[in-house]
Amino acid sequence: MRKLLLILTLALLSQTPVIGFHIVGGEIELIHISGNKYQLHLIQYFDKAQIDNPGPDPSVEIYIFRNSDHTLVQTHVLLLDTELIVPYTNPDCAIGSLQTSRVLYSADISLNADTYNEIEGYYASWERCCRNTNISNIVNPGGQGITYTLDFPAVVRNGKPFINSSPQLFPPLSDYACVNQTYYTNFAGTDPDGDSIAYSLQLPYNSSSQAALPIPQPKPFIELIYANGSNINNIIPGSPSLQITPSGYLTVTPTATGLYVFSVLVEEYRNKEKIGELRRDFQMLVIDGCEPPTPPHAEVRLPGEKDYYIEGEVIHYSASADKCFEYMVVDQAGENVTFKAEGVNFDEDVSEVFEFSSGPINPSGDTLRVEVCISDCPYIQHEPYIIDLIASDNACPLPQRDTVRMTINVEAPVNNKPYFDSPSSSIRLSRTQPEGLSVALDELLIGKDAEDSLHYFFYAEGYDPINYGMSLDTILDVLGEKQVKFNWNTSCQTYPFGDKNTFELGIVLEDYDTCLFDSGDTLFYDLEVVLPPNTTPQISGPSSTYTKSIRSNLDFNVMATDDDNDPISLTAIGDSFSFPQVGISFANQKGTGQVSSLFAWELSCENLNIEETTTFTLYFMAEDDDYCQATNNDTLAVTIQVQVPANTTPAFEIEDFYSLQINKPFELEVIARDGDNADLLTLDLLSPNSAPSSESFSFSRATGTNTVSSTLNWTPECSLLGEGNTPKTYPVDFLVFDDNCPQFESASLTVNFEISELDVDYGHFLPPNAFSPNNDGHNDTYTLTHLEEEMHNLPPDNCADQFQSIIIFDRNGSTIFKSTNREFEWTGDGADVGVYFYQIEYQNTNYKGTLTLVR
C-alpha cells in the first residue's frame, strides 16, 4: 500500500508548477574561536530538486552595522565551504520534488575591541532576490527578496572581554506536510555559551531592491507583504495554524496545499538580559493525497492485572519489588515501531527502561509486546515521578506516535544520613586569618555514617575554593568514617586575595549509598583573609570639563600618585572612540609611587571629521600593583566639548552686468569679503570653462584674509561679436571660498559681459598740419597717436572700419613716406622744408590734407 500511495503522490506533484528559485531559507552565525578571532557563517538551504536553477554562488558578502546609529562598520566576503544533503526523518518518505541541501559559507574574521565596543551592539545582514514564484502566502513572490540578519553584542563590557557565540540551529528536516495531518519538528538549537534561547514566529524580511544581489541596507528592515488572510497568526492556514513553543517545538495541522514561507526569531539571553538574536527563514511544502495515517496504539498492563493502566493513576513500588511490566503496541501490519522513554518532571536519561529500541508489527498484525523495567532508584525522591513511554511508527511523511504517560512512586532503599561528629554542623563557623599563613582550620573534621563509605567536597557559589588555597587532606578513610583536615594557604603572593578576601563556604559530607541520593551533611564557614593596608592611587592634573574650539589645541599633564609607593600604571581610553582615531597623543605609563604623561590633542578638522559641536568623554585610569595584587584604582572622567562656530558665507562686491566695446580696454577689480576675520579666502573662476575664448581676457587666482581681490583685464576682439557685428553677451562664473573647516562656505557669482561694436565719430578727426623736426624736443616727428588733443589722434578701429595706411607725398606726387602701422612716426629725414600732402585710408573712410614741414 505504501509504494502505491507514493506513486500516486508523485503523479500529483508533477502537475504543480516548478519552484522558481533555489534558496528556500537560511541564517547567519557568528562563532567565537579565541581572543578576537571569530568565524562568520552564512547558511543557505538550497532547493536541489530544481535542476534548472544555478548552483550556489561561489561567495557572499555580509555587511556589519552599528545598532546605535546604523553606520556601516565592516564588510566580509564569505567563501563557499561545504554543501550537504539534509536528511528526511524517514528516507522511505522522500519525494523527487523536495530535496534540500545545507550550503555553508564561511570566513575567519577579527572583531577588535577598539571597533566593537558599543553597548548597543551590532548586526550583520545579507540580501538576495528573489523568492520562489509559487509561494502561496505572500504577494508577488517573484518580486520579493530575502534578508538574513544577526544581532550580536559588543566584544567588551566594562573594560573586560565579553565572549559570545550566536545560537547554532539544527538543520531542518527535508520533510513535507500533508493536508489535515499534524506536522511537527524540533526547530531548536544549542548555544555554545550556555545562554538561554527563546523562539517565536515572525514575518520574514524582504530585500531592499529587486537586484539579484542588493547591497545590504541598515535597519529598519522591510517585512514581506503577505497575501490576503495570511498574517503572523496565520502564516500557514491550519487547524491549528503554524505555531512554535518558546523552546522551539514547531507544529501545524495544515488545511490547504501550497508552498509557505515563514521565519523563526531566535533570541539569546544571558542572566535574563537579551544579548542577541538571529532569524531563520524557511519554507514548508504542503501536499494532498497522503494516505490517512493510522497511528500506533500503546497500552501498559501491570503484572497480575487484567485491565490496562489508566493514565493519572499512581503506581507504588516498594524498594524490594520487581519493577517490570508489559508495554503493548497495535499498528498496521508491516510497520516498524520504535520505542522511546522521556522524563516529564525530571531531566535524567531514561532510555534504558526499554529492553528493545524497535520491533516490527508482523504480517498477521499481532500485538507487539515489549517488557519495560523501571529503575530500583527513583528519579525523584519523596514524591512520584512522571515518565512518557512513546511508540513511533515509520508512516509518511512523519512518524505517527502514541504515548502512555505513567505516574510512578518508588520507595527508595533505606539510607542513614552521614553526619559531622566534629565539629558540630549545627554551628556556623567564622574564621579570620592574617595574610601569609598556611593553617589547618579546626584541628580535624570527622564524618561518620552507619554503613556507607564517605567523601567530602566543597560547596561555593561564584568561586572555586581550590583557587584560593583551600584543600581537604584525608587523614582516615574507613567504612563508616572519614577524617580530613581543612587546610588554608592565605599567601596573597600565591592566591588572588586582592580580588576576593571574604568567603562563604560549605564543606559537604556525603555517603556512597545505593542510589547516590543527595543525603549529606554540610558544615558552613564564613572566612576572611586580613590583607595589609593599601591606599588607592589618585589622579590629578586635568579638569573634569573643557570647552575648546575646533582648529585649536588642548594640552595638559596627567599625574597619578600612590601613597604606598606601589608600582602604578596610568592609562586612558575614549568613550566609543580610540585616541589615534581623533588625533590624541597620550602614552600609557608605568612607574613606582608616581607617574605622569602628557595629553595633547590637535583639534583639527582632519582629525575630528565633525560638522557640529560634539562632546567627547575620555577616562584616565590609575591602578596600583600592591603586594596582594589587590585591584585598587582611580578613574577620572574628562568631558571635552569641541565647538564648531558658525561660518559666514563670503560675498562678492561687484555688479552682475557690464557693457564692453570692441578694441576698448576694460578693467574690473573683482572683490569678495567674509565676515569671519580670520578666514583665508580664495578667489578664482568657477572652472577653466568660465573664461571666454579671447586672447586678451586675463584673470588670476588670488587669496586674502577677510578680503580678496583680483583684476580682470579685457580688450574684446571683433570675433566676440554676434552675427552681423551685433552685440553678444558672455557669462563669466566667479567662485570665492573660505578655509573655515569643518564647514567650508563658498559663493559663486555669474557676471554677464555684453560685447558691442565700438561707436566711432570719424568726422571729429582733425590731424595736425605742421611739425618741426629740428631736434628741439617739440613736434620733432609727425604722428597721429598719443597726442594731447583727442581730435588730433587717429579714430579708433572698430570691426566695420579699421586703419589701413598713411601715405605722404610731395607736390610732384612722389611718395615720401608710407606706413601701415597706426603707431607710425615720420621724422622728415631727407625732406625739404615745404608743404606736403597726406592720404589716410581706413577700410571705408579716407582723409586727405596738407602738412607743412618747418625747420
Q: For the segment 110-164, what is each residue's pLDDT rounded down to a tens digit?
A: 999 989 999 999 999 999 888 878 889 999 888 889 999 999 999 998 878 899 9
**Quick one: 443 exposed, middle or buried, by C-beta within 10 A (0-12, 13-18, 19+)?**
exposed
The closest of 298, 295, 15, 40 to 134, measured between CA atoms, is 15
> How far is it, in rounded angstroms, from Cα 718 to Cα 738?
38
Concatenated DSSP letters of 493-513? TTS-TTT--EEEEEEEEEE--
Contact indicator for 843, 802 with CB cutoff of 8 Å: yes
- In tens, the pLDDT along 505-551 reads 999 999 988 787 777 899 999 999 998 888 889 999 999 999 999 98
- In tens, the pLDDT along 156-184 reads 988 788 999 999 987 766 678 899 888 88
Contact indicator for 524, 508 with CB cutoff of 8 Å: no
Question: CA angle, corner 360, sides to 359 and 362, nearest 5?
Answer: 140
> How far is it, in rounded angstroms, from Cα 459 to Cα 227?
58
- Quote the DSSP letter at residue 382: T
CATH topology of domain 297-410: S-adenosyl-L-methionine-dependent methyltransferases (2.20.130)
Q: What Cα–Cα distance (Å) separates residue 409 from each residue in 385, 386, 463?
A: 6, 9, 37
Asked if residue 397 has a cis previous peptide bond (ω within 30° of 0), the answer is yes
> How far is it, in rounded angstroms, from Cα 651 to Cα 707?
10
Q: Do domains 419-530 and 762-853 have the same CATH topology?
A: yes
Band (pLDDT 50/70/90 cuts) for residue 424 is: confident
What is the CATH superfamily name and number for domain 419-530?
A: Cadherins (2.60.40.60)
CATH topology of domain 651-756: Immunoglobulin-like (2.60.40)
User: Is 677 a residue whose pLDDT tops 90?
Assistant: no
- 673-694 mean pLDDT: 90
Concatenated DSSP letters of 692-755? -S-TT-B---EEEESEEEEEEEE---GGGS-GGG--EEEEEEEEEEE--SSS--EEEEEEEEEE
Taking the model in full, what pTM does it have?
A: 0.50
> How far is it, in rounded angstroms, from Cα 90 to Cα 88?
5
Concatenated DSSP letters of 273-326? EEEEEEEEEEEEEEES-PPPP---EEEEE-TT-SSPPPTTPEEEE-TTS--EEE
Band (pLDDT 50/70/90 cuts) for residue 12 is: very low
Taking all residues of the chain, what is their mean pLDDT, rounded to a whole number? 89
Q: Report domain extents, the chain.
A: 2-287, 297-410, 419-530, 538-566+582-614+621-637, 651-756, 762-853
Query: What is the CATH code for 762-853?
Result: 2.60.40
Amino acid identity, position 204: P
